[in-house]
């Protein structure tokens, strides 16, 4: 078991338009990338985000050693119950994730 | 006459974001055919589209725009801004036109300016909605006639067909309303019959300026388009584009890193090849463009959903910090009891615990010992007076509400007098949709201006 923050260079979260958020996990090396590809479960990611499993999109991009997750925002960007305009804080949730 | 290569100079990711002036001067020496810059997006939230205002300051915009106008005069090529004034509504296009005219007057410059306004009337959108010409994209919110009627601004994102028309007027300066970040760059190479997929792909890579290089703050990049692909070169000294930095930009703000939907079709970069070229550049080939019928433009709208007042109180008492959730429940109950049967009955209250979970809400996984918490009370009503009045109604509780009956009356810390701050209107984005149109080239009108 390793936390994602130990095997990534950087984790970035950003709004992709007002209705989606996208999270990019930049891994340190190919070994970490392949290890994470095998061991990060979409179910666990959906759980930390409290979203439905079928709302999560995932891209494993070997060339860049990146795993990308995209998901619709629960609250539209800037709407009454939204707390984070640019959606950058979702990255924190991934840093602590054990894989 | 069609050219075999087209050079587009992109000074920065958006007007108002810093760029390196020396890099810009280097860029001008490369003899670009067009200087293109983005003026905004929805990135900063719904207020700007809702109100039609710019996020950037007037003076900073004027300062940066005057540098670009000076460079345009040197290069003797058109200068194009898309999504003028953050949101790209007609008022923000006028705002940008006013700045341009002021600078021209100060410099005694004779200019031909064309503006492209991309606003849609509520009535027009409603008609299109009723005839089934508005289609949701993935993750779109539900819309109805009321929502469309309540929009304060609706804009369509102009594509290549509309921007080309503005470029073909041979204007010195083109100020466009809302347009896709990419269309302002892709239009000229496509106009010259160059590779369509590469035009869109290069435009996507450079839409944030030097973000696709190892020195994002330098801003300026040059794109060279031809029949087979495109080359990106950073204009700042000691700055490199690498196949990694360029490909990685497809991740940025994109839900899907391979497919990009644009007016009239979509770009697929799954098979694109990124190769190191000369010292600092990257050459890209192999992306594909697919036309889609019917022709669609994406639309954006913001509607007024209420007015807000906020109050902030600081809690330093360890007993109250420990029982903060209980205290907040008590505050809420007290508030809803007070507004029951009054004209404030429909006011909504939200209490956020700054220091605990104000950012992530119920997703927050961490709980650590802290020495203070700020409680931010957000009141949302259908007018400002009611929002403010309800905040005043809760004022005594925010200051003194005791957890138990038998303790001395507590007093918490108000950082301001009054603690209530009117925040003004609350807008909400309401479209993640496209509109089907029959006449892409004639869809918007151009306006001509002279200085």
* H/E run at residue B217: none
Range list of H helices, B19-82: 21-29, 46-51, 58-75
Residue in chain A closest to B361 (alpha carbons) equals A83
Binning pLDDT at 50, 70 and 90, where does residue A2 land?
Answer: confident
Separation in Å, CA of A11 to nearest CA in chain B = 12
* B141/A68 Cβ within 8 A: no
pLDDT along chain B (451 residues), means of 10: 94 91 96 97 96 93 96 97 96 97 97 98 98 96 96 98 96 97 97 98 96 93 98 96 94 92 96 95 97 96 98 97 97 97 96 97 92 98 98 98 95 97 98 95 94 91
Residue B101 is encoded by which pair of tokens? 């005219």
Among the partner-chain residues A59, A70, A77, the one whose CB lies closest to the CB of B429 is: A77
Identify from A18, A66, A80, A96 which residue to disrupt to test chain B contact, counting B C-beta atoms within 10 A and taking the largest count: A18
Q: What is the pLDDT of residues A10-22, one digit of tens each?
A: 999 999 999 999 9
Residue in chain B closest to A70 (alpha carbons) equals B255
State the Cα–Cα distance between residues B412 and B395, nearest whole angstrom. 11
Closest by Cα among B240, B239, B257, B256 to B248: B257
State the Cα–Cα distance between residues A70 and B32, nearest whole angstrom. 37
Burial of B338 (0-12, 13-18, 19+ CB in 10 A): middle
3-state helix, strand, coil in chain A (%, to 5): 35, 30, 35
Residue B118 is encoded by which pair of tokens? 């991309």
Binning pLDDT at 50, 70 and 90, where does residue A1 land?
Answer: confident
Size of interface A-B (CB pairs under 8 A): 99
State the Cα–Cα distance between residues B23 and B235, nearest whole angstrom. 5
Angle (CA) B223-B227-B233 rounded to 5° is: 20
Identify from B139, B305, B434 which residue to disrupt to test chain A contact, counting A C-beta atoms within 10 A and taking the largest count: B139
Instruction: Name the one residue in this structure whose structure tokens are 């008022």.
Output: B91
Residue B252: list chain A partners with CB under 8 A: 14
Query: Average model confidence (pLDDT) for chain A?
Result: 95
State the Cα–Cα distance between residues B440 and B266, nearest whole angstrom. 16
Closest by Cα among B287, B223, B273 to B35: B223
Q: Is the separation of the CB atoms in B15 and B65 below 8 Å?
A: yes
Question: How many beta carbons lie within 10 A of that of residue B299, not counting itself?
Answer: 22
- pLDDT the model gives residue B18: 86
What's chain B's Rg over C-alpha atoms? 26
| Backbone dihedral region for residue B340 (phi beyond 0: left; psi -120 to 50: alpha; all else: beta) | beta
């Amino acid at each position: 078991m390793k936390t994602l923050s130990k095997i990534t260079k950087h984790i970035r979260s950003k709004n992709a338009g007002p209705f989606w958020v996208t999270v990019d996990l930049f891994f340190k090396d190919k070994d970490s990338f392949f290890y994470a590809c095998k061991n990060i479960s979409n179910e666990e990611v959906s759980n930390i985000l409290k979203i439905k499993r079928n709302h999560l999109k995932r891209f494993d991009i070997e060339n860049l050693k990146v795993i990308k997750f995209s998901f619709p925002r629960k609250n539209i960007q800037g709407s009454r119950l939204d707390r984070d305009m640019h959606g950058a804080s979702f990255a924190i949730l991934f840093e602590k994730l054990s894989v | 006459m069609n050219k075999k290569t087209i050079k587009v100079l992109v000074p920065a990711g958006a007007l108002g974001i810093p760029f390196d002036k020396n890099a810009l001067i280097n860029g001008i020496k490369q003899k670009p055919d067009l200087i293109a810059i983005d003026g905004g997006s929805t990135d900063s939230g719904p207020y700007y589209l809702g109100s039609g205002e710019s996020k950037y300051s007037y003076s900073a915009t004027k300062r940066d725009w005057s540098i670009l106008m000076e460079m345009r005069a040197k290069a003797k090529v058109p200068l194009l801004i898309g999504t003028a004034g953050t949101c790209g509504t007609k008022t923000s296009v006028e705002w940008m036109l006013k700045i341009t005219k002021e600078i021209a007057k100060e410099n005694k410059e004779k200019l031909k300016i064309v503006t492209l306004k991309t606003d849609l009337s509520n009535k027009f959108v409603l008609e299109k909605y009723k005839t089934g010409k508005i289609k949701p994209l993935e993750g779109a919110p539900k819309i109805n006639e009321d929502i469309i009627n309540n929009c304060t601004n609706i804009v369509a994102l102009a594509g290549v067909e509309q921007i080309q028309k503005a470029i073909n007027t041979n204007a010195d300066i083109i100020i466009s309303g809302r347009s896709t970040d990419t269309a302002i760059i892709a239009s000229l190479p496509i106009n010259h019959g160059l590779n369509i997929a590469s035009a869109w792909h290069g435009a996507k890579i450079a839409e944030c300026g030097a973000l696709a290089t190892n020195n994002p703050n330098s801003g300026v990049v040059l794109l060279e388009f031809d029949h087979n692909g495109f080359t990106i070169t950073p204009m700042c000294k000691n700055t490199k584009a690498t196949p990694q930095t360029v490909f990685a930009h497809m991740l940025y703000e994109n839900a899907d890193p391979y497919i990009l939907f644009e007016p009239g079709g979509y770009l697929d970069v799954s098979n694109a090849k990124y190769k190191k070229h000369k010292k600092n550049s990257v050459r890209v080939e192999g992306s594909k463009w697919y036309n889609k019928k019917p022709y669609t433009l994406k639309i954006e709208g913001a509607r007024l959903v209420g007015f807000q007042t906020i109050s902030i109180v600081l809690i330093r008492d360890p007993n109250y910090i420990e029982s903060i959730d209980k205290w907040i429940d008590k505050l809420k109950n007290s508030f809803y009891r007070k507004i029951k049967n009054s004209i404030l009955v429909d006011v909504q209250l939200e209490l956020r615990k700054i220091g605990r979970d104000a950012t992530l809400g119920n997703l927050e996984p961490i709980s650590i010992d802290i020495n203070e918490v700020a409680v931010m009370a957000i009141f949302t009503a259908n007018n400002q007076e009611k929002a403010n009045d309800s905040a005043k109604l809760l004022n005594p509780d925010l200051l003194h509400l005791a957890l138990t009956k038998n303790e001395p009356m507590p007093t918490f810390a108000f950082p301001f007098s009054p603690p209530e701050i009117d925040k003004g209107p609350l807008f909400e984005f309401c479209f993640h949709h496209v509109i089907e149109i029959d006449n892409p080239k004639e869809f918007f009108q151009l306006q001509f201006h002279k200085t």
